[in-house]
Structures are given as C-alpha cells and as structure tokens.
Amino acid sequence: MNPEGLPEALALAREIDERLRGLPLLKLLFPPFVFLPLIRTEELVLGAQNVFYEPKGAFTGEISPTMLKSVGARWVIVGHSERRNIFKEDDEIIRRKAEAALSHGLKVIYCVGEHLEDREAGRYRDVVLRQLSYVPASENVVIAYEPVWAIGTGRNASPEQIEEMHTLIKERTGLRVLYGGSVKAKNAPSLAAVRSVDGFLVGGASLKPEEFRKIGEALAE
C-alpha cells in the first residue's frame, strides 16, 4: 500500500518510467488497484498486485480479471507471500486466481517460497514442489521464488541457495523464474549473476526510482 495518495503515485510512476527508459528488459509495474486507471507510462507494462477468481458477482471488495483488463492491466501477481501469510490464501485459492487471470488474457507472476522453519527442517524443497503442483500449465506464467525468511529480515539467500531452488523450479515447470527476496541495488549484481535468475520481483526498493534503476542495470549487464 504505497504511496499514500494519487499525486505521489502518479509522480512515482512517471519517475520510474523515466529512470528505467532504455534498459533492454521487460519492465512491469504493479501499483495498487486504485491508481491503475490513471497511470500512463511509455516503457512500463502495468499489472495488478492481486485478483479474484470470479468474473463478476456478489464478492464485496474483490477485483475481477475483466475489471483489471479494462483499466490497462496486462499482468497480475498471485500467491505473494503476504497474501499467503496475512490473508491465509491457500494453494487451491491461488491456483483458481491464476486460472481465472489466464482465462481472461492476463499473464501471471506466480509466487512460491518457503518459511524459515521449512528451510531449517530441510523440507524447503518439498514445500516449494507442493506449491508448484498447483501452477497452471501455461507459457503465460512466470514463477517468482520468494524465500519468506529472506524478506525484510536482514538475512539473504546465498547464490548457491538461489541456484538450487531456481533450477528445481525450472526442471519442474519449464518456466522463467524471478527472484524476490529483498532485492536491493547493493545485492542486485550478485543476484543477477546467478545463472538461473531470469529477473527480479522487487518490493520496497521499487519505491526508490534511482535504486530501481540500478537494479535494472544489474540485470541488463
């Protein structure tokens, strides 16, 4: 839920668009729902942070795939760790959201990842493989690996840990894989150098246009 108001959101989107201009990357921007219809960019493709699995109906507070398309969204994120942890969305709900988005012509970033207790207990591969078993078979899906224990905790996944998980995901799905664990300008070059990393799902650093630019440069290089 950033930034707090429309003027700030429009200014931020405009600056991000300008700072990332010219980088040979697919650049996606996922603003809050209420800002989507008003943001205009030249190089950024717009997406939504969430979606509901029905096209219409009595589901107060939810946003349908058709609504998102009508205001310019082309992508949607499903299964983000915050949706799973705070709002208790399970694998079946996330699968239904992904299928609904795909059936209405949206492309999907499908998030997977394990908690610290899963990592320490040695069951992290099993957790991610279970989550992957719900991913719809579609070339319009991109996986984002989010080790939950490396988000906002000060801990970072090592290049070896990332390579292991991205390779596992690619072997299972054949899809592109983004890394999404506290990506910042200072760690972007080492993360981008991991052979199996196809891109980043950036959180807080995306609110800082100059830092976002440096992350993009690391990927482009």
pLDDT digits (tens, 9 = 90+) for 21-46: 999 999 999 999 999 999 999 999 99
Residue 152 has pLDDT above 80, yes or no: no
Residue 115 has pLDDT above 90, yes or no: yes
**Position 28 in a domain:** yes
Beta bridge partners of 107: 75
166 included as an active-site residue: no
Q: Directed axis angle between helix 124-132 and helix 159-173, to 10°?
A: 30
Residue 64 has pLDDT above 90, yes or no: yes
**Position 91 in a domain:** yes
- The span from the CA of 169 to the CA of 179, in Å, is 11
* Given the residues 80, 89, 114, 166, the one annotated as active site: 80
Residue 72 has pLDDT above 80, yes or no: yes
**Position 1 in a domain:** no
What's the confidence (pLDDT) of residue 14?
A: 97
Per-residue pLDDT band for 175 (boundaries 50, 70, 90) equals very high
Per-residue pLDDT band for 153 (boundaries 50, 70, 90) equals confident
**Position 130 in a domain:** yes
Structural domain span for residue 180: 6-220
What's the confidence (pLDDT) of residue 28?
A: 98
Instruction: Please answer whether residues 43 and 27 qualify as being in contact, where contact means their C-beta atoms are separated by less than 8 angstroms.
Output: yes
115 included as an active-site residue: no
| Rounded average pLDDT over 138-145 | 98
**Position 147 in a domain:** yes
Domain count, the chain: 1
Instruction: Please answer whether residues 85 and 113 qualify as being in contact, where contact means their C-beta atoms are separated by less than 8 angstroms.
Output: no
Residue 166 has pLDDT above 80, yes or no: yes
What secondary structure letter does DSSP report for 157? -
Residue 156 has pLDDT above 90, yes or no: no
Residue 47 has pLDDT above 80, yes or no: yes
Element housing 75 (H / E): strand 75-78
Residue 151 has pLDDT above 90, yes or no: no
CATH of the domain at 63: 3.20.20.70
Residue 154 has pLDDT above 90, yes or no: no
* Given the residues 89, 99, 114, 146, the one annotated as active site: 146
Cis amide linkage into residue 31, ω under 30° from 0? no
| Rounded average pLDDT over 46-73 | 97
Mean pLDDT across the chain: 96
